[in-house]
Amino acid sequence: MYYYINYFFILSIFGHIIESFFYSGGDSGILLGYWTPIYGIGSIIILFIYKFIDKNFKNKFLKTLILFFSCSILLSLIEIIGGYILKWIFNIELWNYTNHKYNIGKYTSIEMSFLWGLSSILLIYFIKPIFDKLINKIPRYISNIFIFIFVIDLIATLIVKK
């Protein structure tokens, strides 16, 4: 359980840093804290999908192909749902892909789906082997502190931004 909690927090922070630096020009996400939970949620989904694929398929190429397509589709659906939820709860749009050539409505596009599939492969085959060595060394009390801070951040965000 703490394995996934730690992945959630590390990749929420990592995703926030990458998106803030490369895409949004300074800040990413809705929360007040320096994390973007959708990246943590996405990473957990990728880990579960890969766990299922790894258990049920032997061929590495086939595993990679299934991982790419299943994560492309599922993460794109999450991006669409997330876009609508943010619009509904906070009346904001943090992203809009109508300017993409192959957009699928406002909140995702074929280009982004491809990026999510590629990111899934990167996570499983390159990042996970490194992170697995670190994740299991994080003491539970540190994870619990992050959970506490995250809950406070969620509550504060709902109060401040609503």
In tens digits, the chain (162 residues) has pLDDT values of 899 999 999 999 988 888 877 765 556 677 787 888 889 999 999 999 999 999 999 999 999 999 999 999 999 999 999 899 888 888 888 888 889 899 888 999 999 999 999 999 999 999 999 999 999 899 999 999 999 999 999 899 888 866
Q: What is the pLDDT of residue 19?
A: 81
Q: Residue 13: what residue type?
A: I
Q: What is the pLDDT of residue 93?
A: 85
Spell out the residues 6+ positions from residue 126 whose beta carbon is closer than 8 angstroms to its own: none
What is the tally of structural domains in the chain?
1
How far apart (Å, rounded) are the C-alpha atoms in residues 148 and 140? 12
Give the residue numbers spanning the domain of 86.
2-161
Cα 111 to Cα 2, 14, 124, 127, 156, distances in angstroms? 33, 21, 20, 22, 34
Exposed, middle or buried by CB within 10 Å (0-12, 13-18, 19+), for 8?
Answer: buried
